[in-house]
C-alpha cells in the first residue's frame, strides 16, 4: 500500500530552493585528478639512524595554498596497508575543498601508483590548477589529467550519505578516512 504525503506549495518551494542552492554551491567547485607513483608525492630520506619523510615541493605548495594539513605519516602508513583505502584531507577553511588520495594497489602495479585528486573553488582556478598540472607534468609514469566541472565524482564518493557519518567508513569496498 502506498502512503500519501501531503506538502504545501510553500514547503515545496522551500525544498526546491534548497536543492537549487545546493546545486549552485556544488558547481562553484572544480575537481582535478590523475594517477602518479607514490614516490612523486613523498619519499624517505635516510639520515643515519633516522628517516625523514620528504614531500615533493610542488605538492607542499599546493596543499599550503589550499590550506590543507597533510599528515605524511598517515600517507606513508596507508602506502603499505593492503586493500582499497582512501584518505581525504579537508581544508581548514572549507570542508568542500580537499585532497583525496586513493591508495588502491592493483596486483600488477609495479610503480606504486596512487590516484590524487583535489577539489577547490572555481574562483581560484588560475592559482590552483597550474600548480596541480605542474605536478602532473613532472610525474612519470602517470595517467590522464582529469578536469571535472560538473559531475563532481570525487565529491560524491566523499560525501556519500552512507560515508560521511563517521571518520572511517566504506564505499564500494573502499575504506575511507577523513582528516582535518
- Return the pLDDT at 87: 85
Segments forming the whole domain that contains residue 108 = 31-179
Average pLDDT of the residues in 3-17: 55
In a domain, 3, yes or no: no
Percent of the chain with pLDDT over 70: 66
- Return the residue matching grid coordinates 609495479: 110
Give the pLDDT confidence of 106-146 residue by residue, as tens digits: 767 777 888 999 999 999 999 999 999 998 998 888 889 99
In a domain, 4, yes or no: no
Comparing C-alpha atoms, which of 92, 91, 96 is closest to residue 24? 96
Burial 130-159 (b: 16+ CB within 10 A, else e): ebbeebbeebeebeebeebeeebebbebbe
* Sheet-wide strand order for 168-171: 146-148, 29-37, 113-121, 98-102, 85-90, 174-179, 168-171
Q: Is residue 72 scored above 60 in pLDDT?
A: yes
Which residue has better confidence, 115 or 2? 115
Number of domains in the chain: 1
In a domain, 75, yes or no: yes
Amino acid at each position: 500500500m502506498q502512503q500519501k504525503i501531503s506538502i504545501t506549495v510553500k514547503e515545496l518551494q522551500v525544498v526546491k530552493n534548497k536543492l537549487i542552492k545546493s546545486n549552485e554551491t556544488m558547481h562553484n567547485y572544480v575537481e582535478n585528478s590523475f594517477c602518479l607513483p607514490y614516490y612523486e608525492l613523498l619519499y624517505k630520506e635516510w639520515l643515519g639512524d633516522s628517516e625523514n619523510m620528504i614531500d615533493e615541493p610542488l605538492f607542499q605548495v599546493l596543499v599550503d595554498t589550499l590550506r590543507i594539513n597533510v599528515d605524511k605519516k598517515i600517507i606513508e602508513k596507508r602506502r603499505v596497508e593492503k586493500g582499497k583505502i582512501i584518505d581525504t584531507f579537508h581544508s581548514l577553511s572549507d570542508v568542500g575543498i580537499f585532497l583525496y588520495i586513493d591508495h588502491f594497489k592493483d596486483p600488477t602495479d609495479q610503480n606504486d601508483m596512487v590516484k590524487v585528486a583535489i577539489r577547490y573553488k572555481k574562483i581560484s582556478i588560475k592559482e590552483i590548477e597550474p600548480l596541480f598540472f605542474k605536478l602532473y607534468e613532472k610525474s612519470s609514469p602517470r595517467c590522464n589529467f582529469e578536469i571535472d566541472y560538473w559531475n563532481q565524482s570525487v565529491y560524491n564518493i566523499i560525501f556519500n550519505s552512507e560515508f560521511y557519518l563517521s571518520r572511517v567508513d566504506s564505499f564500494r569496498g573502499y575504506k575511507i578516512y577523513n582528516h582535518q
